[in-house]
Amino acid sequence: NAGVTQTPKFRVLKTGQSMTLLCAQDMNHEYMYWYRQDPGMGLRLIHYSVGEGTTAKGEVPDGYNVSRLKKQNFLLGLESAAPSQTSVYFCATSRGGLHTGELFFGEGSRLTVL
């Protein structure tokens, strides 16, 4: 029972390179989220999805794109990485609905942009 799995766990990029983070869940949850964690700023929402084929912007969406072609997968893309995108990225899921319960998190992906 894997829960929420993020790949890769670590990545180093050069400025201007692109990459995709994959989040996969086996809990059949409707909602999925991408957060970034930076020192002193807690976790901030980048994008989220409330179901297959849907995406929406969060608090800090600039420089990122997302897709949810399958219910179990939520992809976060960086088209042209910048040093400001150096961060730890967390994927999370929740059941969905009005009383949707807690978020379940992946283990995080540490991205460094040089």
Partner 1 sequence: AQKITQTQPGMFVQEKEAVTLDCTYDTSDPSYGLFWYKQPSSGEMIFLIYQGSYDQQNATEGRYSLNFQKARKSANLVISASQLGDSAMYFCAMREVRGTSYGKLTFGQGTILTVHP
| Binding region for partner 1 (CB under 8 A) | 31, 33, 35, 40-45, 48, 50, 56, 58, 88, 90, 92, 94-96, 98-105, 107-108
Residue 4: CB minimum distance to partner 1, A: 10
Smallest gap from residue 14 Cβ to partner 1 (A): 24
Contact call for residues 66 and 49 (beta carbons, < 8 A) = yes
80/112 with CB nearer partner 1: 112
Q: Which is nearer to partner 1, 7 or 80 (CB)?
A: 7
Phi, psi angle pair for 43, to nearest 5°: -105, 135
Sign of CA dihedral 113, 54, 41, 8: negative
End-to-end Cα separation, the chain, in angstroms: 35
The least distance separating partner 1 from the CB of residue 40, rounded to whole angstroms, comes to 6
Shortest distance (Å) from residue 59 CB to partner 1: 8
- Is the CB of 11 or the CB of 44 nearer to partner 1? 44
Encoded tokens for 38: 């930076």
d(CA 80, CA 87): 15
